[in-house]
Structure 1
Amino acid sequence: MTARAPFHVLSAAESTRMDGRYMELGERTLVALFKSAAARFSNRVAVTADDDELTYHELNRRSDLLAGRLRAAGAGPGTLVALLAPRSARLLIGVLGILKAGAAYVPVDPSYPQERIAWTVKDSGASVIVSTSELAEAVSGQGTDVVLLDHPATESADGTKPSVEGTTTADSLAYVIYTSGSTGVPKGVQVEHRNVVRLFDVTREQFSFDEHDVWTLFHSAAFDFSVWEIWGALLFGGRLVVVPLETARSPEALHELLRSERVTVLNQTPSAFGRLAAADARSAECLSSLRIVVFGGERLEPTALRDWIERHGDEHPRLVNMYGITEATVHASYRPLTASDLDTHGVSPIGDPLPDLIFHVLGDDTQPMAEGVPGELYLEGAGLARGYLGRPDLNKERFVDHIASDGTVRRCYRTGDRVVALSQGGYGYVGRTDDQMKIRGYRVEPGEIEAVLVRHADVSTAVVLPHDYGGGDVRVVAYVGSGAQAETLAPELGAAAAATLPSHMRPSAYMVLPQLPLTLNGKVDKERLPAPVAATTPVHVVAVDGPELTGTERRIAGIWQSVLDVPAVGSDTDFFDLGGTSLSLLRMFGQVNEAFRTELEITVLIDGATVGSLARHVDSALSTSTPTV
């Protein structure tokens, strides 16, 4: 079944034109197009960040200097360079410098456990690591050269401009982003320059991005939504505002940043936007500059947009849902959302495929499904990645040859997503064909978490499932079969997960059972697993020994127990050690402000989210006001 695409498909001439001039196909790289934008908009601000503000001229110059140092260190065409950098202007210098050297970048999130950082660098075979002085320790001992972004040769105006012209073509690798792996280890997705460039070619008509746009870099560079954010700004002469981590965690602070920086293009997972929309409803300030909000990363329920659309309408800003996966270069479909969608139930509307992609909705026998009948989505077209790094068996399994009805062989990516062709046009997302979960926009393979848990000598079996705690707060719950005591085993498993897995993959609760229920076929019967309720079943709770809680602390601890569904909370216990997530943290914080009639900003927890630290801020706020509590 092919797409019903209403868009204008670019001609060969149109698709090779950028910024008023023609390029040979081999020249249409991210580097070449960025340099074209830098030449046109030399004095315009390219990047705004806490640590610096760079014009296009300065970003171009400093990334040239870094490219020269990388070439001297051995990076070049066909090599991979790991990028471990904070949310800063230097991150963008790193991305561009690596690409200008002819290499591809492998983004590594600094918040990941050191073990995972080291594993990613080793698995990628990175020839060089680009980092900063404060983060370089995390990659020490790797036996790989480290090039520092804060080195004077990159910061100063001195240095010879490197000659890197002609080292990159459209077929060159641009980046490798690691996603969760079902076999217990992450997998690196290899994406070429042409994959990214054509993404912006085929979406230009729908979005009309230009030099007047202001984008946010909200997402981690290790999450492919960042690719859309970075190049959506830098290929068109726009300005990219790097969102500090503490701002990204606070809807109120993000709302203020969007207003003060006059952001025009915002990209959000539906869960993150829900928190921002709630902050917007409480704010007297209007986001008057915002013209487009793009949703991606997880399932969108249109009914969740009702309050926003009732306040703002559906034209300013425009709301667009874009289904996508890393293996198809960020986005694969386009669906404008309007007030008429608010009563949509069941499937999530994802619209039509982008003009150079084709959707095949197939059954178990790989035959096309009729309209209205769900099937697995096979993706075909120019957005498909080169494949997984060093995983030939997985490439054979997921990047498959599909024989079309006309007998032609098409290279497709087997997504594992269930979609349905809708009678009114476009497609709807139904769910997964396997156990893969979506946690805060990240794809999470349960098998990768389970592999960590079964390493423990006392664990015979482990199953990981998502559990919705309400309000879209989906957390990971681990069920383990063991004869050990939950009070002892759960903290040990929590420590193992914290040392190995990113925060979004760590279980929030550990249900320890003597044995897991099985089906007649000998598989774990997930339907019979108990709900993670603290009152009846042991969950992961760290020790709460310590001094007696103050009155304020007791009230806050009670809120934490309710939000996290845990039986006890200590004064110095970290919120995230109790299984908290970024969304549950916001729910908890809102309840604390409501209970004490305070107006604290969530940034007060930047140095530690404990009952004791929060109580001190609450007491301080109460001492300077006369609220009714």
Structure 2
Amino acid sequence: MFADVVARFPDRVAVTADDRELTYQELDHRAEAVARRLREAGAGAGSLVALLVPRTSALAVGLLGILKSGAAYVPVDPGCPQERIAWTLEDSGAAQVVTTTELAETLGDLSVDVVVLDDARAEPEPPAQPEPPTGAAGQRDLAYVIYTSGSTGVPKGVEVEHRGVVRLFDVTRDRFGFDEHDVWTLFHSASFDFSVWEFWGALLFGGRLVIVSQESARSPEALRELLRAQRVTVLNQTPSAFARLAAVDAAAERPLTALRVVVFGGERLEPAALRGWFDRHGDTRPRLVNMYGITEATVHASYRPVTAEDVAATGASPIGVPLADLGFHALDERGRPVPDGTAGELYLSGAGLARGYLGRPELNKERFVELPGPDGAMLRCYRTGDRVVALGDGGYGYLGRVDDQMKIRGYRIEPGEIEAVLVQHAQVSAAVAVAHDYGAGDLRIVAYVASATPADVLAPRLGERAAAVLPPHMRPSAYVVLPALPLTLNGKVDKARLPEPTAEAALAPIAVDPDGTGGLTGTEERIALIWQTVLELPEVGRDTDFFDLGGTSLSLLRMFGQVNEEFGTDLDITVLIEGATVEALARQIDAARSSTAPTA
């Protein structure tokens, strides 16, 4: 298919990168030179070749060169630790690696054949006309193996065939109208499957691919200027990355006039977070589309335009309808279909499913399963581990991961429900809710939000919002306000890098009256210090309810035990039935101590 595009548009610019531009003919010829060297080294259909290349034009040359040789590529991000790179090469069994001179030095003494892209042999003079394809790969051969995180801590390689990628663009072509006039960004790492959509969305239609440097990918300001200067028409983003871009766009003077479509993927989208964007741009130019997807189903599996009306909705994140050649099946824990409106685990069937996991037969049996279809025939399905619900509009809503569910005090809680409420606030661009163990099994919900609003102002407002919408067991106990949420290399929220909710960083879900923290009695001051320790808050007020400060039933018991120990009392928590405040508890403590005091 790429060869056909080269024949149609030999002189059009195919790739723009910081180091150079390449026409389709130049790109094709350089890639063919790489393919020849790989075939000489023994690569071909059925073999795997690692791709370790920075975000330059060499990335496109190397990727295409591997595919032209007939082999499948195994992308390895240069930003990965050396140990991870070595592990990936060993696990995949790649006998060759396509890289650059600089990166080749990091490979050490690994037993692989190295094809260096900046070797003069990789860049001969282009021929007068496009070269015919010489690769031996067919539609059922592997195109790539991309490694994803494993629940056991060991990454797993997902095997995707050529036909999986081709049908992705066949079934989405009419929905987007991609053509040779489009300009796409390659924003994501080649080791993240979103890049497959970006790369071929441009190069299978004669468009131009703008490779975003690592520096520009990390800077929303630089990215926005790149979009404007290069007149990008198709942008693909995770919601977390787009939140940063949208914040910069809000202060920009020159509009992004060329941008016609933004595709979201990779993580849960909260439409409420798009309110400011819709206020500035509307919802028709650019068009915003949410596409649920996973690597095991070849990038995208659903389609849902997002409109300005969606910002008022809460609950499930709308992911729309499955692509035409895929089936969605929402099943309960026993593998039975759930009724519409009831949450279930999503199983996928259809042409987009991957071949399986490389060298993981037991995992393949567990995740790629057969289920009875509507006609009685068995369907090959992939068990996603995602929770969805069929909505009244005929599409689906995404609730979160089955294994992301929090269970707190017996309640099963979907963090996505909480996050959807928080991003409704106009000053919040992104939010994530996690369970934090405060010790002795005292699990509480901590909300991390991205905002420029001062924390002491924003946290109480969010607490009020949560109290108005969410049941008590779903309300965050503390809020940590950050300028931006940390992201992984793939643009998703990096929960491992969220700061600890210390007393200095986390704020209570309500404002503490400054007048209520001074002039405490001796008893009240001692109780307040215990509350600050148990709740990990910098201050508490005399008349503030313990639960309004983020306390839980378990932390209440811990607090009460410490208070009784501090004052030598034996009070029961039922004394606070009328209200759990410092003032009320101090009154009970003083009364108990006076009743047991010795008389003259």
Alignment TM-score, normalising by the size of structure 2: 0.69
SS for the counterpart of 2:102 is: coil
- For residues 389 and 37 of structure 2, the distance between their equivalents in structure 1, rounded to whole angstroms, comes to 50
- Look up the match of 1:181: 150
- Is 1:471 aligned to residue 435 of structure 2? no
Match of 1:128 among 75, 96, 107: 96
- Is 1:39 aligned to residue 28 of structure 2? no
Q: Does the aligned pair in 2 maintain the 1:112–1:502 contact within 8 Å?
A: no
| Deviation by residue 1:391-432 (Cα, 9 ceiling, x = unmatched) | 000000000001234321100000000001001220000111
Q: Residue 109 and residue 390 in structure 1: after superposition, are their counterparts in 2 closer, same or farther (change >3 A)?
A: same
- Is 1:62 aligned to residue 33 of structure 2? no
- Look up the match of 1:557: none
SS for the counterpart of 1:289 is: coil
- Look up the match of 2:286: 317
- Look up the match of 1:276: 245
Q: Residue 68 and residue 465 in structure 1: after superposition, are their counterparts in 2 closer, same or farther (change >3 A)?
A: farther
Matches of residues 475-494 of structure 1 in structure 2 within 5 Å?
Answer: none
- Look up the match of 2:214: 245
- Give unpaired runs (5+ residues) of structure 1: 1-32, 439-445, 447-463, 474-500, 512-530, 537-564, 568-629
- Is 1:115 aligned to residue 83 of structure 2? yes
Q: Residue 354 and residue 371 in structure 1: after superposition, are their counterparts in 2 closer, same or farther (change >3 A)?
A: same
SS for the counterpart of 2:236 is: strand
* Pairs aligned (count): 442
Matches of residues 338-353 of structure 1 in structure 2 within 5 Å?
Answer: 338-353=307-322
- For residues 235 and 51 of structure 1, the distance between their equivalents in structure 2, rounded to whole angstroms, comes to 23
Q: CA deviation at 1:147?
A: 0.5
- Look up the match of 2:223: 254
Q: Does the aligned pair in 1 maintain the 2:33–2:124 contact within 8 Å?
A: no
Q: CA deviation at 1:339?
A: 1.3
Letter in structure 1 aligned against 2:319: I
Letter in structure 2 aligned against 1:336: P
Q: Residue 286 and residue 372 in structure 1: after superposition, are their counterparts in 2 closer, same or farther (change >3 A)?
A: same
Q: CA deviation at 1:469?
A: 2.5
Q: Residue 410 and residue 115 in structure 1: after superposition, are their counterparts in 2 closer, same or farther (change >3 A)?
A: same
- For residues 410 and 78 of structure 1, the distance between their equivalents in structure 2, rounded to whole angstroms, comes to 26
- Look up the match of 1:216: 185
Q: Does the aligned pair in 2 maintain the 1:271–1:472 contact within 8 Å?
A: no
- For residues 58 and 43 of structure 1, the distance between their equivalents in structure 2, rounded to whole angstroms, comes to 8
Comparing 397-406 with 68-77, greater Cα deviation is found at 397-406
Q: Does the aligned pair in 1 maintain the 2:29–2:131 contact within 8 Å?
A: no
Q: Does the aligned pair in 2 maintain the 1:293–1:318 contact within 8 Å?
A: yes
- Is 1:413 aligned to residue 374 of structure 2? no
- For residues 361 and 208 of structure 2, the distance between their equivalents in structure 1, rounded to whole angstroms, comes to 39
| Deviation by residue 1:122-156 (Cα, 9 ceiling, x = unmatched) | 10000101100111122221111110010101123
Q: Does the aligned pair in 1 maintain the 2:238–2:491 contact within 8 Å?
A: no
Q: Residue 206 and residue 466 in structure 1: after superposition, are their counterparts in 2 closer, same or farther (change >3 A)?
A: farther
- For residues 465 and 81 of structure 1, the distance between their equivalents in structure 2, rounded to whole angstroms, comes to 46
Q: Does the aligned pair in 2 maintain the 1:361–1:377 contact within 8 Å?
A: yes
Q: CA deviation at 1:267?
A: 0.2
Letter in structure 2 aligned against 1:210: D
- For residues 381 and 67 of structure 1, the distance between their equivalents in structure 2, rounded to whole angstroms, comes to 32
- Look up the match of 1:541: none
Q: CA deviation at 1:509?
A: 6.5
- Look up the match of 2:358: 389
Letter in structure 2 aligned against 1:201: D
Q: Residue 427 and residue 263 in structure 1: after superposition, are their counterparts in 2 closer, same or farther (change >3 A)?
A: same
Q: Does the aligned pair in 2 maintain the 1:112–1:503 contact within 8 Å?
A: no
Letter in structure 2 aligned against 1:104: A
- Give unpaired runs (5+ residues) of structure 2: 406-414, 417-433, 435-442, 453-489, 507-535, 539-600
- For residues 132 and 284 of structure 1, the distance between their equivalents in structure 2, rounded to whole angstroms, comes to 39
- Look up the match of 1:151: 119
- Look up the match of 1:9: none
- Look up the match of 1:507: 496
Q: Based on CA coordinates, which of the two structures has the bigger radius of gyration?
A: 2
Alignment TM-score, normalising by the size of structure 1: 0.66
Q: Does the aligned pair in 1 maintain the 2:31–2:62 contact within 8 Å?
A: yes
Letter in structure 1 aligned against 2:496: P
- Is 1:74 aligned to residue 74 of structure 2? no
Q: Does the aligned pair in 1 maintain the 2:266–2:492 contact within 8 Å?
A: no
- For residues 287 and 270 of structure 1, the distance between their equivalents in structure 2, rounded to whole angstroms, comes to 18
Higher relative contact order (CA 8 A, sep 6+): 1
Comparing 369-378 with 403-412, greater Cα deviation is found at 403-412
Q: CA deviation at 1:342?
A: 1.4
Letter in structure 2 aligned against 1:245: Q
- For residues 160 and 451 of structure 2, the distance between their equivalents in structure 1, rounded to whole angstroms, comes to 31
Moved >2 Å (runs of 4+): 158-166, 404-407, 435-438, 464-469, 501-511, 531-536
SS for the counterpart of 1:87 is: coil
- Look up the match of 2:259: 290
Q: CA deviation at 1:353?
A: 0.2
